[in-house]
Chains A and B, each alone.
Chain A
Amino acid sequence: MATVKPKPAAKTERSTWLLTAPALVLLTVAATGPLFIMLIYSFLEPGQYGNVVWKFSTKAWFNVILQRDIFDGTLTWADAHLTILWRSVKLAMTTTVFAVLVGFPTAWFIATRTPRMRLFMLFLITIPFWTNLLIRTFAINQIIRNEGVLNSFLLWIGVIDAPIQIIYSDFAVFLGMTYVYLPLMVLPLYAAIDRFDMRLLEAAYDLYANRWQALRRVVLPIVKPGLIAGSILVFIPALGAYVTPRILGGGRNMMIGNFIDLQFGQGRNWPLGAALSVILLIFVTSMLILYVRFVNRSTDNG
């Protein structure tokens, strides 16, 4: 870097701005634009058959938190909304934890293979991205359903004598979610572990650390950025996920994604749907801000 001849500062800055202009325009128009429309819609009145009426109203926001009982008119907390939001948050957190538990050993295993093997295994990890999420979810469905591959096999070898009900259970949802989002955890973790200097581990053992201490005091602090990045990458889409919980969980309980979908479809309450989307967005953004803060702090320290 030192050999590059410095240009006059103003000129560099102007050309940088010019060069980034297409990206900036695209980001403003295509990314923030729709979000603004959503924000505006959340302050309008719902049309009778969907869509919105251009009249200012805070009813949608009011309805996010409070609801008037449809039968006796009393005002209560909108506990249905809170229940649904909490279910999604819980699912996203559980998925993240499962993904770490499965993803960390996987990433560690890959990172400690020979370079050729590593490439091959990374390639295997990315294979699921070749097909659509829906198809992958249906594939899982095909394996765990009552007359699916797994149950037929267990019946055939005689371990069970009636199919186990796996599909439409919470376990099925966790299984599916972990499977779907696992690559997003493995890849950043792998990148972090790959940079990890294995000699540090030897040093730890030399200093009488046991395996657990070596993992906790030496490995984890160093791969933490990868762990955090993976967790964020898993948590955010998992929060909005609704295809997987619906297909594998049986759809008896809504996720926040289904609930927003309901408002734009059969519910015909677009403003409420928009308000709920904004809330989801705020949720995700605050997670990201926390992440950025965290990463900045840890890089400052070390």
Chain B
Amino acid sequence: MLKIQNPQIKLLEKLTNAVALPGDEGAIRKIIRAEVGDIADELKIDAMGNLLITKHGKGKNRLKVMLAAHMDEVGFMLVDDEKDGIYSFETLGGIDTRQLVGKPVWVGKEKVEGVIGAAPIHLLDAEARNGKASLKSLKIDVGVGKPKVKVGDRATFATKFLRMGNSIRAKALDDRLGVAILIELLKNAPENIDLLAAFTVQEELGLRGAKIAAHAFNPDLALAVDSTPAYDMPMHDGSENIHYNTKLGEGPAIYTLDGRTLSDPRIIRWLSETGDEKKIPYQYRQPGGGGTDAGSIHLSRAGIPTGSVSVPGRYAHTAMGLCRIKDWENTLNLLHEALCRVSPKILEKNR
């Protein structure tokens, strides 16, 4: 079994501290290329910036298996210069604006420090105090005299990686965990398959990069590797929480149904059997909404058998998420073991 140890944790630190927003994922692309550029059999950056890496296996009847992890994270774009270092902004990806007030941010490639402030509570009337701050009322403040900031620059939460015992606190665990896992799988690539690793762009804008990546790879089988929310907190009234999505510490989350994909039952079975036989804990993500790159991939060309596996993480799409190192490791191993045993047999029976 593979292990998550210091080098892997250091790499995740680098990945989560980097800034890569939809439309400009260069910082992550750079880190990945430094990690696996040498061992890749083929490496391509496409029209939108997807990083497509192929690692060939050996022997006959190799399945072409695509794994996708998205490089982008949610954040902001400056849209209007209101002078004196104050900028209005729009969100990139789904963010609850109630998460924004009072957060430090990094702006642009140079990570210029800034803040999202708000009017002092003392100056607000009673209604505004308890109301939801509208996006229009919120501004990014980078201080005066900063020539390196301009309209069109992208920004994100200024959150530094922190290890908290068995857990990790960081921004953008969605989906730098997936990126880290794909890097590790490339480094330990099973020889029975051709591994097609797609580090995708613009997932947070609607699975856009994965669409063209899947068309280019045209795989036999695909898995999206992502991080999915764990809402495993108590209910306000002490009743049973029946909408937890996933639970921290219970292992990788295998998808059955989300808003964009009905996972291929053959893939659900394959992953579950792998977990059972190798004694790797796993859970089923609660069927419901949301979506991963699988939503684009499975509809590519004449159809691609596709599923998704996610590392559970709390507080996704906010300034700081939280995950367990053990869940990360179990996700890596579930995927690695599953890939090591996969053969064309899996697709013999019709879906």
The yes or no verdict on A and B being binding partners is: no
